[in-house]
Homo-oligomer: A and B are copies of this chain.
């Protein structure tokens, strides 16, 4: 594999990992105000479509990376729902 051929897998790895620091930050800070509901919903839908496509073309890299991304984005959606919920002011 040449250096140039490594770019694709490296890009896939970075894309897969990119949401990890966001999940960590959101979990630590409980802050979800700046996150867009629409972005998260579209990202989850896209991950599921990529996963279906990966199964259809039997590409293990697409399947694995989008499974991880889908899970990370669903965790972010859950955080957004949980931490954005209105609290009772007593």
Residues of A within 8 A of B (CB): 4-5, 7-8, 10-11, 14-15, 17-22, 24-26, 29, 31-39, 42-43, 45-46, 49-50, 52-53, 56-57
Contacts of A25 in B (CB 8 A): 34, 36, 38-39
- Verify A42–B17 contact, CB threshold 8 A: yes
- Verify B11–A39 contact, CB threshold 8 A: no
Contacts of A43 in B (CB 8 A): 14-15, 18
- Verify A36–B21 contact, CB threshold 8 A: yes
Contacts of A32 in B (CB 8 A): 34
- Identify 7 residue pairs between A and B in the complex whose beta-carbon atoms are under 8 Å apart, listed by A's number: A11-B53, A24-B36, A25-B34, A25-B36, A26-B36, A31-B33, A33-B34
